[in-house]
Amino acid sequence: NAGVTQTPKFQVLKTGQSMTLQCAQDMNHNSMYWYRQDPGMGLRLIYYSASEGTTDKGEVPNGYNVSRLNKREFSLRLESAAPSQTSVYFCATQDRDRAANEQFFGPGTRLTVL
């Protein structure tokens, strides 16, 4: 089992460009999350999806959109990238059905916006 996978691993964008970060999981978990991690700021929640077909805003949603394509996949889109969006992005999953609360993280995508 691959667990939680993210693509790409690294990306460099110019200001104003758009891109989609992909996340996929084979853990059969209902809930999926997108975080960004900046130095000294910890992990901040961008968007989350409690189950297929639902999405909700987290702490820092501005400048991002998400799509829960199916149970396995949850993508994060930057429509017009800005230097302030330079960060490491982590996807995570959670097995809400079992009332388990541990979140499992993907390996991360390191994004630089010039």
The site for other proteins (CB under 8 A) is made up of 31, 33, 35, 40-45, 48-50, 56, 58-59, 90, 94, 96, 99, 101-103, 105-108
* Minimum CB–partner distance for residue 43 and other proteins (Å): 4
Residue number, 23 or 81, with CB nearest to other proteins: 23
Residue number, 19 or 88, with CB nearest to other proteins: 88
Q: How far is CA 37 from CA 15, 51, 60, 92, 98, in A?
A: 20, 24, 11, 13, 28
Residue number, 17 or 44, with CB nearest to other proteins: 44
Q: What angle do CA 90, 102, 60 make, to 5 degrees?
A: 40
Q: For residue 73, which amino acid is it?
A: E
